[in-house]
Amino acid sequence: MAAWHSPSAAWRERSWWGWGWADEALDDDACRRLAETALRPWMPIDGSVLPVPYDPVLDPPRLIPPSIMEEAFTADPVIRAAHTYGKAFRDVVRALHGRLENPPDLVCHPRTAHDVVATLDWAEAVGAAVVPYGGGTSVVGGVEYRGDAPWISLDLSRLNRVGEVDEVNHAVRVQAGVFGPALEQALVPHGLTLRHYPQSFEFSTVGGWLATRSAGHYATGPTRIDDFVEALRVITPQGPVESLRVPGSGAGPSTDALFLGSEGTLGVIVEAWLRVSRRPSDRSSTSVAFPVYGQAVAAVRAILQAGLRPSNCRLLDPVEAMLNAGATDGQARLLLGFEGPTTPLLADAVTICADHGGTAATSSGDQGTWRDAFLRAPYTRDALIRLGLIVETVETACTWSRFDALHAAVIAAAQAAAPARVAVVTCRFTHAYPDGPAPYFTIITPARRGAEVAIWDEIKAAVSEAIAANGGTITHHHAVGRDHLPWLAEQRDPLFTDVLRAAKRTLDPRGILNPGALF
């Protein structure tokens, strides 16, 4: 079976079909209990549990590894299966149904940047596509391949060294395949932290974050991985590209900006210098209940526009508050937190909330509940899928003045496209800016068994149209992959797409890198 090195240095099995650790998945009984206690009251489900396939059945590989670096390659069916898709709803449900039509012919685990160079050279020679793979948590079809060529999943998780931790300059040199927990563990002895916690933190890598412009769970201020980049090292089929390590530069267009968000199409990010910071000693937080959702939205806007930059500023709508923070009073909840020297500013933010009808909790107990739910959510998601539900998320960012219409349009579109027009659609803000929020919608609806992907794709299309029509970006932090491409193609200026194509021809003239993603 597939085995990955866990951050705690013990061997532990990752799920090949679903989220995270295999042993954390809800078993059949737990799924049934979830159905009885939490779902049956409000969702029409039949109670049956889609079984986990015993062993994946795949077509034989069409490639034979090059003898010179044979040990880096594997054709193990479970590893190939685990690298066939990312971890979107449509990925998990396809895996559960055993639909693994286009698995990678080989999975390659380079141990050095030189291995990456050799793999790209070999792939060019044999006409194979190469899809870079970090932790494989893409939810946008970023790590699968939909073309006809033989293909290699280039799993960078063995480029897993944390290099110099530079205490003088608050920076760390790190290889692309380092997972979130391993990086943070390496920083602990130095009293430092990257402070970048996407929901996938445990199972995603530095390289994946950089390639997809991931956003951490801090709601404001420096939170996107872009904000932490000092310098990158990228291997392209034409050679390496390196940027200068300086704290700031105005020397022409940014080299890093070309590769941040390039999703493996222009090169393979192998190493980065990232800015880190001292672990905050002070923290303060609370949750604020709002009877009127619109006033809660206005409060978040007022907090940001007053110049306050809370580390946490998540607005949960009443259903989110019920599902994820145990709040059953039908009120929205704003989770507010400040860290480090700005800790004393919490009182200012609470005052702004009070001006908008919000009542702060007397304890900050909600937040732990919510954070646990946040990290457990993908496992629960997998159980709901096995119970026959569609469970997926959609996210965007828009200006404040667009939000009301976008919010209403997304909910209406999801419900109109859902079977029997029944869908639960919840919304939370994951990030907030002075000029607008990043709303994150969860959509839950019963699926017809076997037709889950087709139904979801219809909902996704309807919702994406609603987002685009209301001035939202097609993705704030889930990246583009293949699933967002049709809408990105509308939102990205065609001349800029031409520039990206020219960059691609310059760096990857044979077009082997992640073909079909991004453009």
**Which residues from 436-455 bind a second copy, rule CB under 8 A?**
436-438
**Binds a second copy (CB under 8 A): choice among 18, 61, 134, 261:** 261
Q: Does 220 bind a second copy (CB under 8 A)?
A: no
Going by the DSSP 8-state scheme, the letter that residue 52 receives in this structure is P
Q: Does 205 bind a second copy (CB under 8 A)?
A: no
Q: Does 460 bind a second copy (CB under 8 A)?
A: no
Q: Does 317 bind a second copy (CB under 8 A)?
A: no
Rounded-to-integer distance, Cα 22 and Cα 20, Å: 6
Per-residue binder mask for a second copy (CB under 8 A), 343-382, x = binder: -xx--x----------------------------------
Q: How far is the CB of 248 from a second copy (least distance, A)?
A: 5
Q: How far is the CB of 219 from a second copy (least distance, A)?
A: 11
Is the torsion defined by CA of 142, 500, 273, 107 positive or negative? positive
Give the distance from CA 360 to its chain's centroid: 31
Give the chain's largest Cα–Cα span.
69
Whichever of 182 and 258 has its CB closer to a second copy, that residue is 258
State the CB neighbour count (10 A cutoff) for residue 188: 10
Q: Which amino acid is at 507?
A: L
Beta carbons of 343 and 283 less than 8 angstroms apart: yes
Residue 100, CA distances (Å) to 79, 182, 254, 463 in order: 12, 31, 39, 27
Whichever of 277 and 369 has its CB closer to a second copy, that residue is 277
Whichever of 61 and 436 has its CB closer to a second copy, that residue is 436
Q: Which region, judged by CB under 8 A, interacts with a second copy, from 73-81, 212-220, 285-293, 318-326?
A: 212-220
Is residue 329 classed exposed, middle or buried when 0-12, 13-18 and 19+ CB atoms within 10 A define those classes? exposed
**Binds a second copy (CB under 8 A): choice among 250, 362, 420, 450:** 250
Beta strands at 359-360 and 424-433: parallel, antiparallel or unpaired: unpaired
Whichever of 34 and 308 has its CB closer to a second copy, that residue is 308
Whichever of 209 and 379 has its CB closer to a second copy, that residue is 209
Rounded-to-integer distance, Cα 315 and Cα 15, Å: 31
Q: Which residues pair with 4 in a beta bridge?
A: 12
Whichever of 310 and 318 has its CB closer to a second copy, that residue is 310
Q: Does 397 bind a second copy (CB under 8 A)?
A: yes
At 410, which helix (H) or strand (E)?
helix 400-417
Beta carbons of 214 and 204 less than 8 angstroms apart: yes
Q: Which residues pair with 312 in a beta bridge?
A: 337
Rounded-to-integer distance, Cα 135 and Cα 210, Å: 12
Q: How far is the CB of 249 from a second copy (least distance, A)?
A: 4
Rounded-to-integer distance, Cα 348 and Cα 66, Å: 62
Which residues in the 404-443 window bind a second copy by CB under 8 A? 431, 433-438
**Binds a second copy (CB under 8 A): choice among 153, 199, 204, 212:** 212
**Binds a second copy (CB under 8 A): choice among 242, 329, 372, 404:** 242
Which residues in the 281-310 window bind a second copy by CB under 8 A? 305-308
Per-residue binder mask for a second copy (CB under 8 A), 133-172, x = binder: ---------------------------------x-xxxx-
Which residues in the 466-495 window bind a second copy by CB under 8 A? 471-480, 484, 488, 491-493, 495
Which residues in the 52-81 window bind a second copy by CB under 8 A? none
Whichever of 81 and 518 has its CB closer to a second copy, that residue is 518
Per-residue binder mask for a second copy (CB under 8 A), 318-347, x = binder: ----------------------xxx-xx--
Is residue 458 classed exposed, middle or buried when 0-12, 13-18 and 19+ CB atoms within 10 A define those classes? middle
Whichever of 284 and 491 has its CB closer to a second copy, that residue is 491
Q: Does 314 bind a second copy (CB under 8 A)?
A: no
Q: Where are the alpha helices (DSSP H) in 83-195?
A: 89-96, 113-126, 180-187
Whichever of 59 and 498 has its CB closer to a second copy, that residue is 498
Half-sphere exposure of 111 (CA within 13 A, CB side): 5
The position carrying tokens 């939202």 is 472
